[in-house]
Chain A
Amino acid sequence: MRKASQLGDVTDMTDTTFDFSGKPIAITAEGLAKSFLGVVAVNGIDLQVKPGELMALLGPSGSGKTTLLRLFAGLETPTAGRILFGDEDATHLPVRERRVGFMFQHYALFKHMSVAENVAYGLHVRPRRLRPSGAEIRKRAEDLLELVQLPGLGKRYPAQLSGGQRQRVALARALAVEPRVLLLDEPFGALDAQVRRDLRRWLRELHDRTGHTTLFVTHDQEEALELADRVAILNRGRLEQLGGADDILDHPATPFVAGFVGDAVRLSVSVEAGWISLGRGKVPAPFQFPAGPAELFIRPYDLTLAHSTGHGTFTGKVVGTRRVGSARRAELILEDGLPSVEVTLPLEHAVLKGEELHLNLLTMRLFPAR
C-alpha cells in the first residue's frame, strides 16, 4: 500500500496518454421496476444521472440499490420501465453492448490472469475489426495501471495484491473498455477505514479528471454525502429523496430520510394549535402544520442551550454525558417514556447527571405521523 499523500497525486500525472474526452452521457431510469419471483426489489424508480455527474445510491440493505445498479448495467432485466443511455433506449440492450464500466463489490478480478491480463481483457475480447494490436493493448494496459497508480504491477496476480490495490485494478479494467458510464457497487465496502478515506478522495479526483458519468452504491452515508454531487436515497425499492448533501441533511423529504441520514432521534409528539408539546415546554410548529400526532427528528446539533425558560424553550433532564472529539454531548430525557436526545455542548460546560437544562430547537424536521 502506498502512502496517503501519494494516492492523492493523480492531478500531477499528465504524461498518461489515455483519452477520456468522449462526451459524457446522462443515464435515466423511467418507472423502472424489478421483482424476483414476486418479491419487489425496485418499485418504480424515476432517476436521472446527469452527464459527468457523480451520484451515490444510498440506502439500507434490501433497499434495492444494488438491483438498480445492476439494472443500469444490464445484469438484470427490468419487469417494467425503461432505461435510457443518453437519448438511446437501452432497456433491452445486452450487457456486452452497453459499454458500462462495472466494478463489483469484491472486484471479481480474474484470479488466474495477471493484473495486466485482467486490465486488457475487455480489449482482447473485442471483435477482430475493433481490436487494437497486441502491442497497443499492452501499452493501454500499462497506461491504465499508471493512471490507477499501480505502474509495474502488471505481472502480479490478484492474490498478491492488497485490497486497495485490487480495487484499483478493478477500476482500471472497467476503464479499459472506454465505458460510457461507470457503475460501482460498494466500491469501498471491502476495505479498512484508513484505506477507504484515501481511496475516496482519490476516486473523486479521478472522476474529476476523467469526467465519466458515475453511479455508485453505498450503505455508508458519510461516504455518499462527502463523495457524491447528488445522493439518491432508496428505501424498500423506492426513491425517497434525490439531492445534494445540504438538501438531504437539512431538508429531508420523508421521515425515512430524516431518520436514516445523520444520527437523529425520533420522537412521537403531538401538535396542537401550532405548538408542539415537548417535555415541560412548547415549541412553535411550522406554519399551517396540521394538528394531531407527529414525528419529530432531532440531531445533536439541532439543539442549543437556552439560558432561561421562555418563549419556545423546553427542558430536559441530563442522564449522561460523553466526550466527542472537541465537544461534549449530554444525553437528555425530555419526558418519561420518550427516547433520550443528545445535545452538543462546549467543552468548558460541565454538566451533572440529574441537572435540568433549558433548550432551544434550531431546526425543525417534523412530519405528520402515519
Chain B
Amino acid sequence: MRETALTESRPLQWLLIAAAVAFLALFLVLPLVAVFIEALHRGIEPLLATYADEDTLAAIYLTLIVAAITVPLNLVFGLAAAWAIAKFEFRGKSLLISLIDLPFSVSPVVSGLTFVLLFGAQGVFGSALDAWDIKIIFAVPGIVLATIFVTFPFIARELIPLMQEQGTSEEEAALTLGASGLRTFMTVTLPNVRWALLYGVLLCNARAMGEFGAVSVVSGHIRGLTNTMPLQVEILYNEYNFVGAFAVSALLAGLALVTLVAKSILEWRHAEGLSTGRRH
C-alpha cells in the first residue's frame, strides 16, 4: 500500500486489521463452520436419515414452492414499481417509495400478525373466506402472502437507483426511432437493468427461502403441510434433534453460500450494471 497522509502507523494498522479479522471470524465464519460441523459430527448416516424424513422433505418442497411463487411475482411488482418511480413524474411518488420500504422497517412478526388480523378466522375477511371455504391463514396461501410482503422491497430497491441514474433519454431515443412502448421496454429498458435485476432476484430468493418471523405467525406449524425449512429447523431443535436441526440448517446455509458466490461474481463482473456495485 502506498503511504499517504491518511496512512496509519504500522502497529496501528496491524491492530485494526487483527480486530477486524477476529470480529469476522467470531461472528461470521465460526457460526457457519459450526453449522456444518454439528450437522456432520455423527457421520453422514443420521444426516441422510434427516433428509429422507417425510416431514423434512415436505418442508423443503414447500420452501421451494413458496420461493417459486414469490420471486416471479416480486420480479414483476418490483420491475413495475421501479419503472413507474424512475421514469415518470406523478403525485404521491415519495409516498410510494416509503411504502415500498415498509416491509424493511416493520418487524416480520408484525407483518405476519397483520395477515392473521385480515384473513384469520376472527379477522376482517375471516367469515367471508370461511363462507367460500378458502383457507389462507395456517395454509400455504398465507405463507406465500407473508413471504411476498416481506421480500417485496428487494428487487424494487435494487432497480430504482439504477433506473433513476440512467434517466429516460435512451427510451426517448427509441421512441423517436419509431419503437413502440413495449418494444422500447424489452430492447432498451430491460437490457440496461438486467444484472441489477438478477442481483435483486438472488437477494429476494435467499430471503424468501430463509424468512422465519412472518411465516411462523401465519403457518400454524402443521407438520408435513405448512412447515417451511426455517420452521422445520425450529421444530427439530425444540425436540432435541440437533443433528436434524443442523442438517436442515446446513441446507439453508449452503443456499446462502451459493447466493453469496453468485452475488460476488455479479459484483465483480458487472459492477457498472448494478446500483449496489458502487455502494459496496
Residues of A at the B interface (CB closer than 8 Å) are 73-75, 95-102, 104-106, 108-112, 121-122, 125-126, 173-174, 176-177
Contact = CB atoms under 8 A, between A and B. Distances in A.
A95 B176 contact: yes
Contacts of A126: 178
B169 A122 contact: no
Interface residues of B, number: 16
Given A110-B188, A111-B192, A112-B192, A125 B172 contact: no
B192 A102 contact: no
Q: Which of B169, B173, B175, B188 has the most C-beta atoms of chain A within 10 angstroms of its own C-beta?
A: B173
A176 B179 CA distance: 13
A24 to B, nearest CB: 18
B188 to A, nearest CB: 6
A55 to B, nearest CB: 19
A111 B177 CA distance: 16
A108 B172 contact: yes
A177 B177 contact: yes
Interface in B180-225: 180, 183, 187-188, 191-192
A106 B169 contact: yes
Tell me if B's interface is mostly helix, strand, loop or mixed.
helix
A125 B176 contact: no
B170 A96 contact: no
Nearest to B194: A112
Given A108-B173, A177-B178, 14 more contacts: A75-B172, A75-B175, A96-B180, A97-B178, A98-B176, A99-B178, A102-B172, A106-B169, A109-B173, A111-B192, A125-B174, A173-B173, A174-B176, A174-B177
B175 A95 contact: yes
A95 B172 CA distance: 9
Contacts of B191: 112
A228 B179 CA distance: 31
A25 to B, nearest CB: 17
B176 A121 contact: no
A11 to B, nearest CB: 28
B173 A96 contact: no
A200 to B, nearest CB: 23
Given A104-B169, A106-B169, A108-B173, A122 B192 contact: no
Contacts of A111: 170, 192
A100 B174 contact: no
Contact of A100 (B169, B176, B180): B176
Contacts of B187: 110, 121, 125
Contacts of B169: 104-106, 108
Interface in B2-36: none
A102 B178 contact: no
